[in-house]
Structure 1
Amino acid sequence: MEEPAVSVLKRAVELDSASRFQESLICYQEGIDLLLRVLKATKDEKKKAHYREKISSYMNRAEDIKKYIEKEKEDGKYHKQIKIEENTKGFSYEKLFQQYLSETVSEVWIEDPYIRQVHQLYNFLRFCEMLVKGPCKVRTIHLLTSYDEGNGKTQQMSVLEEIQQSLKDYGVTLDVSYSPSIHDREIRFNNGWVIKIGRGLDYFKKPQGRFCLGYCDFDLRPCHETTVDIFHIKHTKKT
């Protein structure tokens, strides 16, 4: 267990030096956990003392980073960028969003012009399912999108109405608005988090078949290349 701990903590220090504090904090936490297991399994008192000293040092640094991140959030300066490379996996909605969905989240705003086609409507449905599952207590979801100008307009409205009715069973109100000029893609939570994704919710590639891995589990679905920008502000502007 010592070798994996050293590897993770080395990565934490590298990310720390590169000012990638959010990622480094995660690595510090994982590395400390691994090192604590090493300490527990060690009988040599001299080695124990060495491990305790290292753990204490890493814990102090992790705590400093945590305080820095919280201060950035309070000042509205927090910014994290994730670059999703072409064909990479492991970027389900849960992986991207759940860490920002605290129990205080009760209202969500989604601005995405491309909630039109069947697969995009399914994407939106999956996003709603994630919100309902918690741990947040969402009561209102606002969707601003654009009409499907082709023959799919009736289907688009029908599906969104069906999702709207289904959400009511969970005590959630879906408010749908349409704009012909909407272009930007943005998701906001009323706890101050703002997430901008270059491709909106539609960053997954089409599965090779209905019975292929990744059809149901989005963590196994290859992605299109896109960039995710995450901000924190004190007050979220409502639309």
Structure 2
Amino acid sequence: MSLNHLPGMETSAVSVLKRAVELDQSSRFQESLVCYQEGIQLLMDVLKAVKDDSKKVHYREKIKKYMDRAEQIKEHLNKAKEEGKYHEQIKISDSDTGFSYEVLFKPYINEGLTEVWVEDPYIRHIHQLYNFLRFCEMLLKAPCKVKKIHLLTSQDDGDSSAQQVSALSEIKESLQSQSVALDIQYSSTIHDREIRFDNGWIIKIGRGLDYFKKPKGRFSVGYCDYDLRECHETSVDVFHTKHTKTS
């Protein structure tokens, strides 16, 4: 890294670590841990590039401080997971932005993730089908090797029934070309919304995957980039279990 890039790297590190502290203070520990780890790596890259000895001392102290806190959080999370007591709640307020699937699910995805279960009664209408497709795309781009996705949803009994079946079949075929199997099941009694990862994480979103507001127009900001899309108010409850679902 050249010295010309140093200010930008420093700014990025400060921004990520500030976010880590905010999440830490809000008891959103898994998210804060991810930010601490990213911020620490950025600071270490800066440390390698600086020449001033006093700055080196300053950065070493900062790195140690954040590493100590990250280790404390890691121990707390591991203990909660072992005892089956892990629970974290994320509140998404009305018209909030910055909650794309990439952002929301990132803290819970790791290299060991291979299988995902999605239970959501509302993967029926066209925008909901696109939401599910975007969720699948997020998994394909994430640092994991998902091989199978299970979808349990309700079947549209109206005029859109054929559209739902056709769209899900197309998604299934497309995922197959990426070496990912999609298992689709329908239930007339499903009500709860839940996403399970085979690494133990369980994410329950009050509104399921359909927590985004309709964009104001086809050429308005947020139409393509879900980080910029306004959200409906909802709660996200995150749990962890050593006993993962297998069927």
Shorter-chain TM-score: which interval? 0.7 to 0.9
Pairwise CA distance, 1:210: 1.3
Among 63, 81, 99, the alignment partner of 1:73 is 81
Distance 2:210 2:241 in 1: 25
Displacement after TM superposition at 1:7 (Å): 9.1
Per mean C-alpha deviation after superposition, the further-off stretch among 199-208 and 103-112 is 103-112
Deviation >3 Å, runs of 4+: 1-45, 47-55
> Which range is displaced more, 30-39 or 117-126?
30-39
**For the structure 1 residues 147 and 4, does the alpha-carbon distance in structure 2 shift closer, same or farther, using more than 3 Å as the test?**
closer
Structure 2 counterpart of 1:157, one-letter code: V
Question: Matched residues in 1 for 2:111 and 2:22: separation?
Answer: 32
Percent of residue pairs bearing the same amino acid type: 66
Correspondent of 2:111 among 103, 108, 127: 103
1:144 counterpart residue number: 152
Q: TM-score, normalised by structure 1?
A: 0.84
Write the letter of the residue equivalent to 2:120.
Answer: D
Is contact 1:83-1:226 (8 Å) kept?
A: yes
2:203 corresponds to 1:168: no
Compared CA separation, residues 3 and 178, structure 1 to 2 (3 A): closer
The answer to whether the 8 A contact 1:32-1:58 is kept is yes
Aligned 1:23-172 pairs, distance under 5 A: 23-25=31-33, 28-29=36-37, 37=46, 43=52, 45=54, 49=57, 52-53=60-61, 55-172=63-180
Listed one character per residue, the Cα deviations across residues 161-207 of structure 1 (whole Å, up to 9, x for unaligned) are 11111111111111111111110000001111110000000000111
Output the CA distance in 1 between the equivalents of 2:109 and 2:15. Answer: 30
Query: Which of 181, 189, 202 does residue 189 from structure 2 map onto?
Result: 181
What does residue range 198-213 of structure 1 map to in structure 2 within 5 Å?
Answer: 198-213=206-221
Cα distance in 1 for partners of 2:83, 2:151 equals 28
Cα pair 1:87 1:224 within 8 Å, conserved: yes
Moved more, 191-200 or 20-29: 20-29
Q: 1:3 to 1:105 in 2, by over 3 A?
A: closer
Q: CA RMSD in A?
A: 3.0
How far apart are the structure 1 equivalents of 2:168 and 2:204?
22
For residues 26 and 167 of structure 2, the distance between their equivalents in structure 1, rounded to whole angstroms, comes to: 46
Residues in 2 aligned to 1:131 and 1:82: alpha-carbon distance in whole angstroms: 21
Which stretches in structure 2 are left out of the alignment for 5+ residues?
1-6
Q: Is the 8 A contact 2:30 2:107 kept in 1?
A: no
TM-score (norm 2): 0.81
